[in-house]
Amino acid sequence: MEFIIPVFKSALTIMMPVFFAALGGLFPALAGCLNIALEGMLLAGAFSSLAVFSFTGNVFAAIFCAIISSLSLSALHAYAVFKLKANLFISGLAINLLSSGLCIVLSDKIFKTRGVIISGNVQGLLTLFIILGFLFLFIFIIVIYKTPYGYRLRACEKNSDSLASLGINCKFYQMTALLVSGFFCGIGGSFLSLNLGAFVPEMTAGKGWIALAVIFLGLKKPLGILCAAFIFALAESISNHAQGFLSIPADFILAFPYICAFLALIIISIFQKNRQNI
C-alpha cells in the first residue's frame, strides 16, 4: 500500500496535462484537421500561467491567461490554415517552434533569465483539475454525441460533401475545433507549471505528441481518451518509481511508457484492420 498510493497519485499528476491536451485535440481529430501544435500550445500555457501567478499570486488569473495565450496560438494556426491556405501540418510545426522560441524570449525580457523560473506551487491543484477534467469529460460526451454541432463536427472528416450540399460550412467547424484544442491546452499547460511551481524551458517534454497518440489509443472517444491517458501516466509513474528498485538500465526504464504507447498503437491498428475485414 505504501508503494501503490504514491504511484497512483503520481500517475494522476502526470495524466492531467496529457489528458486535457488530448481532450482538446479530440475535436480537430474528429473534424479531420488533426492539430499537431498541441505541444507548443501546452508550453505557451505553462509559461504564461506561471508568469501571471508569480506577479499576482492568483491561480484563476494564471489559468485564464494560460487559456488566452494558447487560444491565441490556435487562432493564429487556424488563420494560417483556413485563410492563408497554409499546409495544416507545416503550420502546426511552425506554431510549436514559435511557442518554444517565444517563451525563451519573453522569459529573458520579463525575468532576465533563459533558464528555470521558480514560483510557489499551489496546494490542492490536483483535486481542482480532476474535478474540472471529469466535468469537461461529461460535457464533451453530450456535445459530441447529443448535439447538432457534434453530429456535424464528426461528419466533417468523411462526409464534408454531404455537409456542403446542405449549405453547412465545414471550415467553420474545423476552425472552432482548433480553438477548442487551444482552450484545453491552456488548462493542461497551466497545471504543468503551477503544480511544479516552476517553468523549465521545453518542460512539456513531448506531452503534446503523447496526447496525439492518446487520442488514437482512445479510439477518438472521450472515455477512451481518459483510459488511455491514465494507462500511459501509470506506466510512466511506475517507471519513475522503479528506478530505485530494479537493476535494469535507467534508459530502458525511462523508455518504458513510450514502448507501451508504441505497442498499444500497433495492437489497436491490427485490431481495427481485422474488424474492417470482417
pLDDT tens-place values along the chain, 278 residues long: 556 788 888 899 999 999 999 999 999 999 999 999 999 999 999 999 999 999 998 999 999 999 999 999 999 999 999 999 999 999 999 999 999 999 999 999 999 888 889 887 787 899 999 999 999 999 999 999 999 999 999 988 877 777 877 788 889 999 999 999 999 999 999 999 999 999 999 999 889 999 998 998 888 999 999 999 998 898 888 877 666 565 666 566 666 666 776 777 677 777 766 666 65
The Cα–Cα gap between 169 and 185 comes to 25
The Cα–Cα gap between 2 and 88 comes to 47
Looking at residue 198, its pLDDT comes to 92
Residue 256: how many other CB atoms lie within 10 Å = 16
Cell numbers describing residue 237: 509513474
Q: Which residue has the cell 489497436?
A: 268
For the chain, the structural domain boundaries read 12-205
Looking at residue 136, its pLDDT comes to 96
